[in-house]
Structure 1
């Protein structure tokens, strides 16, 4: 049976990283993707911050399994990370890379559907500037224009979203995640 990784996608401020963090409390291991962008805050969850030189080294070793370019920064995950994880927060570009580069893993995509006002408020709360927010909304509009996914969930109540995701994980893996 092929390994399954659950891909969480959604526009900026939809709660992807928070969902991934919460799933960790239930034993799911989320990928901390690499990025060359600076951290927003100390001990930021969701990314491993690296240099352009580090990125080039991973690329030269053909270790990059999924890649995305956003706001002049590299975002990527490695084949090793995929082998060790259950959940990956990714954008549509990354999903395309995964599906074309990795054939030995079953990917199930879950889109978090959150209205724009809520997303803007979440981005403000985390400290994004008005300019950054407007840029993210614009880029997301293009990236998610033709979104495709296996499941679509609202993310208006964290515990409800986590419960539904756990149910999906269990159903898609024939109970492999039962406690």
Structure 2
């Protein structure tokens, strides 16, 4: 049985942290590609595949989105190579990316929305060291893109106030999900 778990939510909702915790539970994380510069402590091929805009344009992708002045996308090769090697995959995507992956892989995909309040979003972005102007821009875009409310197509909504509890809820949901239990890549 193969599963593809998509984590989505607003900036600062803890998507990457939850994905890393799920890796500890046997999921293999798909690494997306971006044109944005690395933040302090980020590593190429671990956090993202960091590329130039020209490289990004040439890369075959399942989905892509322009967000906060940079491009993000899931390369076709990333999912194809890892789906051969691993049974349980996890990826962090924005709304458009989650929809594209669901369109392509259908019942093989389980989409989880990590909910966060506007106040908590600003606090987390400050804690991770985002500059004030970047926080304001992300906050504006989050409201514009309605990132505080889960889209109707998600399979599970979790308020991510505690990472361990969030992971527990996701794993419990995965056990009960009929679509996932009959899925195969």
Give TM-score, length-normalised by structure 1: 0.85
The 5 Å alignment of 1:1-150 reads: 3-44=2-43, 45-58=46-59, 63-83=60-80, 84=82, 86-100=89-103, 102-103=104-105, 106-144=108-146, 147-148=151-152, 149-150=154-155
Number of residue pairs aligned between Structure 1 and Structure 2: 170
Task: Please give the per-residue CA displacement for 1:93-142, whole angstroms capped at 9, x wherever unaligned.
Answer: 21233244x24662211111121222211100111111111111111122
Q: What are structure 1's unaligned runs of at least 5 residues?
A: none
- RMSD (Å), alpha carbons: 2.2
Give SS of 2:11's match. coil
Report the secondary structure of 1:167's partner residue.
Answer: helix
Higher relative contact order (CA 8 A, sep 6+): 2
Q: Which runs of 4+ in 1 moved over 4 A?
A: none
* TM-score, length-scaled by structure 2: 0.82
CA distance in 2, matches of 1:5, 1:152: 16
Aligned CA distance change for structure 1 residues 112 and 72 (closer, same or farther; 3 Å):
same
- Do 1:10 and 1:16's aligned partners in 2 also have CA atoms closer than 8 Å? yes
